[in-house]
Amino acid sequence: MKKLLSILTVTALTTTPAITVISCKNENKVTPKKETEKQLGDLITKIDLGELVDKNKETILTAVKAKNPGVPADLSVGKIDDTSAVITSASVKGEVAVTFTVKPVQKQLVELITEKALGQLDDNNAVTIVKAVKAKNSNAPADMKVSDIKEGSAVIKSDSAIGEVLVTFTIKPVQKQLVELITKTDLGELADKTEETILAAVKEKNPNAPDDLSVDKIDDTSAVITSASVKGEVAVTFTIKEIESKEGQDDTKIENEEKQFIINE
């Protein structure tokens, strides 16, 4: 009897671990995870589309696909404003906001430069012409270029506007210096040194002298000539004709009469 109990005990001890091992194998079995579904944000990662020619749906979709090659073909565009739009897809969950700028529409240059007659300019240098165009046309573009400059006209172009505009102008005459008009400064012998006498002599010797001359700083042999219309001043010189005294004139008269009396005798 004791021997039978010992056999049963040994049998029980040897079979119990086997059951435990099987139980452990069932508890450690790994279940495969289900694959996570992609969102549209995973496919559209470049959301700044840059500068577009317009904000039409076709233009926006083309830009999205160009920057994100792996996007689905069934994209659609909504909530479009001046700088952004929302992209969705029928096959992929989620939505993506994209941004952009719209390229300004170029205007015709003739619409911006309407006053083409610039009036009188100091010269026909490009800087002078551009300055005059801007003064007459407040909407003129800042990047104007001048070409084909002539004595009374020039052509205006711009990289930011379409076309070209012909502008016209006149050049202000260069004002001469008075010394260029009064070249003969030695007036010779004058009857007196009054202003009228000096001016008459100046104009006689210098026909191109202006009419608005004036005389200043008169002394016995010189004077200074100026003009209201011409810059500068000119110093002229002269001598005064000597006036014989009355006593001398009487002596000469008597001498002449005596000579005439002798001849008559």
Q: Give the model's confidence band at 70: pLDDT under 50 very low, under 70 low, under 90 confident, else very high.
A: confident
Nearest to 156 by CA among 185, 193, 126, 188: 126
Q: Note the pLDDT tens digit of each residue in 9-22.
A: 444 444 444 444 44
- CA–CA dist 141, 245 (Å, integer): 81
Q: Is the pLDDT of residue 139 over 90?
A: yes
Using alpha carbons, list the distances in angstroms from residue 71 to 78, 85, 86, 136, 171: 17, 16, 14, 53, 64
Q: Note the pLDDT tens digit of each residue in 84-119.
A: 999 999 999 999 999 999 988 889 999 999 999 999
13-35: buried (b, 16+ CB within 10 Å) or exposed (e) per residue?
Answer: eeeeeeeeeeeeeeeeeeeeeee
- CA–CA dist 132, 227 (Å, integer): 31
pTM for the full predicted model: 0.45
Burial environment of residue 92 by CB neighbours within 10 A (0 to 12, 13 to 18, 19 or more) = buried
Query: What pLDDT sits at residue 251?
Result: 58
- CA–CA dist 225, 235 (Å, integer): 6
**Higher pLDDT pick, 6 / 154:** 154
Contact at 8 Å (CB) between 194 and 201? no
Contact at 8 Å (CB) between 100 and 48? yes
- CA–CA dist 43, 87 (Å, integer): 11
List all residues 6 or more positions away from 22 whose beta carbon is below 8 Å from its beta carbon. none
Sheet arrangement for strand 84-89: 48-52, 95-102, 84-89, 75-78
Ranking 104-108, 168-172, 208-212 by mean pLDDT, the lowest is 104-108
Q: Give the model's confidence band at 37: pLDDT under 50 very low, under 70 low, under 90 confident, else very high.
A: confident
